[in-house]
Amino acid sequence: MEVRTINNTLFFAEVAEQLALGHAVRMRARGNSMLPFIRDGRDVLVLEKPGKDSFRRGRLVLARLLLARPEEDRYVIHRVVKVQGDRLWLRGDGNLKVYERCSRAEVLAEVTEVVRSGRRPSVERSIRQGSWRWNAYRFLWPSHPFLRRVGLALYRRLNKK
């Protein structure tokens, strides 16, 4: 089967439309900014329309970061690290010092489930938001940039082929 990538803007417009209709959406994760929890091209994310509880620390959200022109908007799936009224601070688990700031209105979805593939492609493990495995990835992974750097280096060493 052929693997193709759809332009981000088009894809997320489609996702937003489906979420508005009340559908959940399964998509493949891209990028390394949520390592070690979410792995590029391997893991699958389940997105749902954000609820009141989505805007809390520790939740994973899909945000559309508005830039000068709509076609330049960035889409990120990162963790909420700070909430201040309408403003949210997001940071990818795999990022050291980069934070994104957005408003609640820019949050398109919450990630409610991460389906992690095993070493053999047939083995999958579904990790739901709030489960103990989910919380393990949230609480055992350090927040301090230096510790993260060490953690990521270890992760890469252990996962080298």
Partner 1 sequence: MRLKEQFSIRNIGGEYMMVSQSGSGLDYTRVVTLNHTAAFLVESVIQKDFTEEDLIDLLVEKYDVARDVAAKDVQALVGTLLKEGLVEKQE
Q: Which is nearer to partner 1, 6 or 140 (CB)?
A: 6
Please report, for residues 20, 43, 131, 142, the alpha-carbon distance to residue 81 in angstroms, rounded to integers and kept in the order given. Answer: 25, 22, 19, 13
Tokens of 126: 């579904």
Whether a cis peptide bond, with omega within 30° of 0, leads into 121 is no
What contacts 67, CB < 8 A, 6 or more positions away? 73, 74
Q: Which is nearer to partner 1, 23 or 74 (CB)?
A: 23
Q: Which is nearer to partner 1, 70 or 145 (CB)?
A: 70
Q: Which is nearer to partner 1, 17 or 86 (CB)?
A: 17
Under the rule (CB under 8 A), what is the footprint of partner 1?
Answer: 1, 4, 6-7, 10-11, 14-15, 18, 22-28, 44, 46
Minimum distance from CB of 49 to partner 1 (Å)?
11
Please tell me the number of Cα atoms within 13 Å of 74 on its side-chain side: 9
Minimum distance from CB of 39 to partner 1 (Å)?
14
Minimum distance from CB of 83 to partner 1 (Å)?
27
Distance CA 41, CA 34 (A): 12
Minimum distance from CB of 51 to partner 1 (Å)?
14
Q: Kindly report the CA angle at 141 between 138 and 145, in degrees rounded to 5?
A: 125
Minimum distance from CB of 55 to partner 1 (Å)?
22
Distance CA 38, CA 25 (A): 17
Q: Which is nearer to partner 1, 18 or 32 (CB)?
A: 18
